[in-house]
Amino acid sequence: MPKRSWQRRGKAAMDLIEFFSNHVFRMVFFGTTVIGIVSGALGAFAYLRKQSLISDVIGHAALPGALLAFLMAVVVFGINGRNMLLLIVGAVVTGTLAALFANAVAARTKIAIDTAMAISLTTFFGLGMLLLRMIANNPYPGKGGIQDYLFGNAASITRADLTTSVAVGALALTLMIVFWKEFTLRTFDPVLSTMLGFRARVIDTLMFSTIVIAIVIGVKAVGFVLMVAFVVTPPAAARQWTNTLPGMVALSAVFGGIGSGLGAYLSISLGNVPTGPVIVLVLFSIFLMSLLASPKRSIVVTALRRVRARKALRRELMAEGRNP
Amino acid sequence: MTPIACECRDLSVAYREDPVLRRVNFCVPTGSVMGIVGPNGAGKSTLIKAMLGLVTPLAGTSEFFGKPLDDVRNRVGYMPQSASVDWDFPTTVIDLAVMGTYGELGWFRRPGKAERARAMAALEQTGMQAYASRQIGELSGGQRQRAFLARALVQVPDLYFMDEPFQGIDAKSQQAMIDVLKDLSAQGKTIVIVHHHLGSVLDFCDHVTLLNKSIIASGPGEETFTKDNIRIAYEASDGAEAFLAEAG
Amino acid sequence: MSYVIGVILLAVITSLACALPGVFVVLRKNSMIVDGISHAVLPGIIVGFALTQDLNSPILILGAALAGLLVVLGNEWLSDTGLLAGDAPQGLIFPALFAAGIILVSMDLQHAHIDTNAVLVGDLNLAVFPALIVNGVNIGPEYLYVMLAVLAVNAAFIAVFYTRLKLTTFDRQFANVLGMRTRLLNTAFMFLVSMTVVAAFKAVGAILVISLLVVPAATAQLISKRLSVMMALTAVFAVAGALAGFWIAYVLNTGTSAAMAVFYGAMFVTVALTAKIATHIRRNRRSSKSTAAAISAPNVGAVAGE
């Protein structure tokens, strides 16, 4: 693993001015925050459609696509193989193929959906690892650091990458807002939405594409392997605080953004810790706190209430028995 | 007084904090065919599951032949709701029936010729011998239920619990199963059936329990299966009204 | 023992050790839980390595397997709270543990020099070192014997609990009524799976181990009517994939485990398509036969109809 030594003199903590005056740190901070916001907002739909794990499949399966895009760029077009847009396109293609493959296997054979997802995930990922090895064995230009697709390297985010992430993320969010009504109906009442004539397949494809985009824009900063956490964790946390869809999408985006920004800051100021995993841990902490502290659904409060209610019920039933 | 095959006392079950069964006292005389009927969500399946320990009750006890279940497991047979198993599981009809012997095999014995012969005999009883080597997923709804009935027969219990055995099956399968039930009843076996179709309960049950979270009535069919009881149990739901209108 | 034979044997034994419990993983619909386990054992392995300095140590294998079991129980607990929808409970804990593992790897506290690439795919070609020397004779890779032991434990567990595993997997309620301790059996089985994942980690890594566990069994399920047949076919597919994977990797000069995963995937697709075509042909033949029967004896049908 390349060392993520953030080239700074040994100091216990970093003040915000020093942090934001550094170009690389700024890029890392804003890049990961944008990714967090976009994947948080779109992850809410994946969560509500009960398709959280498919994002793990898409994340792993995006690897061969990104690597094929690299090979295409270098071998066919002779351009920079690590062009962010090309990388996203490649990742979206194989990520989508893997999800379609898993669904087709589950629908057309006796294999259950979870096994179908596992088959899809490992096969595509195995292909990715073969390509990675092949690229490593050959003298392609610009292949240095291509291993970062796995776990990301936030320090490698350039201004152009940030622009691309923002543009693609904005496109996905725009799609979400434009088709808000259709997405909502399709999520909560698929049968009604088909009856009302919204073309189910079109809406599904659109919604699915935005989710795939939410997963793959994180490749450079976070890497494909951990992106599942960006899509699954913020909505799971947000769900504990709100019952409405707009509330959930907004809060999930906020959690994603805050978690990513905070994680980026922590990883840099602690020094020598990879950014993606730190963000994942921050997001997970937000989730745990939501489980504990949310006013209506806190697990502690709920558990206590349940024990009390069951005790009261038992007493009530006993009392009925004594005076029939 | 006839001896009791199974009974529960003050059985209460709650899902999370909502009561599903309230202080159910239920007893089945040996040799009877007891139908449990009631509207959807009345807790019919929950009652037999709680008695068999598949659901942990909030309070109450159950006994089988005067003993706790652990002492008499080999005398109790169970036929689950068909939706609860995986139909893509790689097993043939005969394998399924052989599973009825697993309870008595213990740790190291494997089913052999004797067990397969017993399974085959049970399949003949339910008219399923022609399908013995089919994978269970290839069967129709009625054939599936007959295969599961065969498995329960292989257990050779004295007391059968059947959860909605007639759900979604064809007339031929239903008749074949009723014939088997009558046969078992003639041999003095006790049968407890969860059933949702009011019209056919008395076709094969001599005892009826009307249940809606608590027992409305339980006893010999002609005493308990009355219009008034049905109306109380179903709280004037459409299905019951239609049935009552038809029955005059 | 020569290097190449060592690698081949290791590939075959590892694939068998994973594929046997894989049969029940697939039938219990636990495949994505294994995905969680395989990611989550990473911090367990790193901490275990820091303590034992030996990836083959049984203490490390059992300790890290507990981390995997933690994910299984944690997932169950999260689902039981009823606060989360769909399969989300399965997707929350493992990325966090995996992230913790990656941070530990990058800090390289214990100078394990495990690189992240190896975390994901392992390296079968390196796993054959060191060799076990008995009385001055090289009797093959030390790690081969670790995997042999895991295979033996898995085979013994499945042999002893075969009827119980079968029944609890197929019809858990019925098993409960027969008095089987289904919960205990389930936990024990998941611990075994977790242990297998940890042991195979060095050779095939965290993600491709899922392939070894799941794909041969899934391929076998496509064409099996009986569990015993499925077990046998799983073993055949596992070994075939191990050999083919080794050969492909050898020709392409690439990682054996990645080649195995890709070959397994291709094998699954081929068998699925072949089975589809076969049933299609069979159905056509059957329906043309029954049409012929109906045409040749129309009167019989008419009489029966009246």
From A278's Cα to the closest Cα of chain C, the distance in A is 7
| Helices C256-296 and C182-222, packing angle to 10 deg | 70
**Most B-contacting residue of C29, C158, C161, C173 (CB-CB within 10 A), to test interface:** C173
Tokens found for residue C196 = 């297998």
Count CB-CB contacts under 10 A for residue A297: 17
Q: What is the pLDDT at residue C114?
A: 66
Q: What is the mean pLDDT of residues A240-265?
A: 93
Q: What is the pLDDT at residue C297?
A: 43
pLDDT above 70 (res A3): no
User: Which uninterrupted H or E stretch holds B245?
Assistant: helix B238-247
Weakest-pLDDT range from A25-29, C20-24, C165-169, C179-183: A25-29
In this structure, are strands B4-15 and B76-79 parallel, antiparallel, or unpaired? unpaired
Tokens found for residue B236 = 């004037």
Q: Which residues of A touch C92 (CB under 8 A)?
A: 229, 232-233, 236, 284, 287
Task: Tell me the C-alpha distance between A224 and A121, whole Å.
Answer: 12
pLDDT band at residue C52 using 50, 70 and 90 as cut-offs: confident
Interface A:B, Cβ pairs < 8 A:
31
Nearest to C178 among B85, B95, B102 (CB): B102
pLDDT tens digits, A164-202: 888 888 999 999 999 888 888 888 877 776 676 667 778
Instruction: Show the DSSP H helices in chain A as ranges.
Output: 16-21, 23-48, 54-71, 84-108, 113-137, 148-151, 159-178, 180-188, 190-195, 200-216, 227-238, 245-270, 275-293, 299-322
Tokens found for residue B232 = 């109380």
Nearest to A317 among B12, B17, B137 (CB): B12
Task: Tell me the C-alpha distance between B137 and B228, whole Å.
Answer: 43
From A94's Cα to the closest Cα of chain B, the distance in A is 29
Q: What is the mean pLDDT of residues A194-218?
A: 80
Q: What is the mean pLDDT of residues B112-125?
A: 94
Within a domain: residue A322? no
Q: What is the mean pLDDT of residues A7-20?
A: 62
Q: What is the mean pLDDT of residues C133-158?
A: 90
| Interface contact C227-B91, CB threshold 8 A | yes
> Is the Cβ–Cβ distance between B115 and B98 less than 8 Å?
yes
Neighbours of chain C (3+ CB pairs under 8 A): A, B
pLDDT band at residue A8 using 50, 70 and 90 as cut-offs: very low
Report yes or no: C233 at the B interface, CB cutoff 8 Å: no
Q: Which residues of C touch B53 (CB under 8 A)?
A: 176-177
pLDDT band at residue B202 using 50, 70 and 90 as cut-offs: confident
Task: Tell me the C-alpha distance between C89 and C91, whole Å.
Answer: 6
Q: What is the mean pLDDT of residues C25-44?
A: 92
3-class secondary structure, A137:
helix
Question: Mean pLDDT, chain B, as a whole number?
Answer: 88
Q: What is the pLDDT at residue C10?
A: 92
Within a domain: residue A303? no
For residues A215-236, b (16+ Cβ closer than 10 Å) or e, as one string?
bbbbbbbbbbbbbbbbbbbbbb
Report yes or no: C129 at the B interface, CB cutoff 8 Å: no
Q: Which residues of A touch B17 (CB under 8 A)?
A: 305-306, 309-310, 313
Report yes or no: B73 at the C interface, CB cutoff 8 Å: yes
pLDDT tens digits, C88-145: 888 899 999 999 988 888 876 656 566 666 777 777 777 777 778 888 888 888 889 9
Residue among C58, C37, C54 nearest C209 (CA)? C37
Assign domain C3-208 to its CATH superfamily.
ABC transporter involved in vitamin B12 uptake, BtuC (1.10.3470.10)
Q: Which residues of C touch B67 (CB under 8 A)?
A: none
Question: Mean pLDDT, chain C, as a whole number?
Answer: 86
pLDDT band at residue C17 using 50, 70 and 90 as cut-offs: very high
Weakest-pLDDT range from A26-30, B74-78, C54-58: C54-58
Which residues, other chains included, contact C147 with Cβ-Cβ below 8 Å and sequence gap of 6+?
C10, C13, C14, C17, C199, C200, C203
> Is the Cβ–Cβ distance between A219 and A228 less than 8 Å?
no
Report yes or no: C279 at the B interface, CB cutoff 8 Å: no
Which residues, other chains included, contact B138 with Cβ-Cβ below 8 Å and sequence gap of 6+?
none
Instruction: Show the DSSP H helices in chain C as ranges.
Output: 3-27, 31-52, 58-81, 93-107, 116-121, 124-127, 142-170, 172-177, 182-222, 227-252, 256-296, 298-305
Q: Which residues of A touch B58 (CB under 8 A)?
A: 310, 313-314, 317
Q: Which residues of A touch B14 (CB under 8 A)?
A: 310, 313
Weakest-pLDDT range from A27-36, A150-159, B232-241: B232-241
Q: What is the pLDDT at residue B238?
A: 61
Domains: count for chain A: 1
Weakest-pLDDT range from B199-208, C36-45, C53-62: C53-62
pLDDT tens digits, B147-168: 999 999 999 999 999 999 998 8
Domain containing A107: what range? 2-223
From C179's Cα to the closest Cα of chain B, the distance in A is 7
Q: Which of B 177-196 lie inside 8 A of C, CB atoms?
A: none
Cis peptide before B157 (omega within 30 of 0): no
Nearest to A226 among C98, C106, C261 (CB): C98
Residue type, B197: H
pLDDT tens digits, C226-235: 999 999 999 9
Question: Mean pLDDT, chain A, as a whole number?
Answer: 84
Q: What ipTM is given for this predicted complex?
A: 0.88
Report yes or no: A310 at the B interface, CB cutoff 8 Å: yes
Please report, for chain C, the start and end positions of each structural domain, with discontinuous segments joined by +: 3-208
Q: Which residues of A touch B88 (CB under 8 A)?
A: 110-112
Complete DSSP assignment for A1-56: -----------S---HHHHHHSHHHHHHHHHHHHHHHHHHHHHHHHHHTT-TTHHH
Q: What is the mean pLDDT of residues B122-135?
A: 93
> Is the Cβ–Cβ distance between B21 and B213 less than 8 Å?
yes
pLDDT tens digits, A82-139: 778 888 899 999 999 999 999 899 989 999 999 999 999 999 999 999 998 888 888 8
Structural domains of chain B ordered from first start: 4-83+158-247 (3.40.50.300)
| Interface contact C169-B89, CB threshold 8 A | yes
Tokens found for residue C202 = 């060095």
DSSP C195: H
Neighbours of chain A (3+ CB pairs under 8 A): B, C
pLDDT above 90 (res B247): no
Report yes or no: A311 at the B interface, CB cutoff 8 Å: no
| Interface contact B110-C162, CB threshold 8 A | yes
Distances (CA, A) of A75 to A67, A85, A140, A188: 12, 17, 8, 46
Closest-CA residue of chain A to B21: A317
Within a domain: residue A287? no
pLDDT above 80 (res A321): no
pLDDT tens digits, C252-276: 888 888 999 999 999 999 999 999 9
Q: What is the mean pLDDT of residues B168-183?
A: 90
Half-sphere exposure of B19 (CA within 13 A, CB side): 19
> Is the Cβ–Cβ distance between B166 and B177 less than 8 Å?
yes
From B189's Cα to the closest Cα of chain C, the distance in A is 18
Q: What is the pLDDT at residue B62?
A: 92
Q: What is the mean pLDDT of residues C204-230?
A: 93
Report yes or no: C221 at the A interface, CB cutoff 8 Å: yes
Within a domain: residue A52? yes
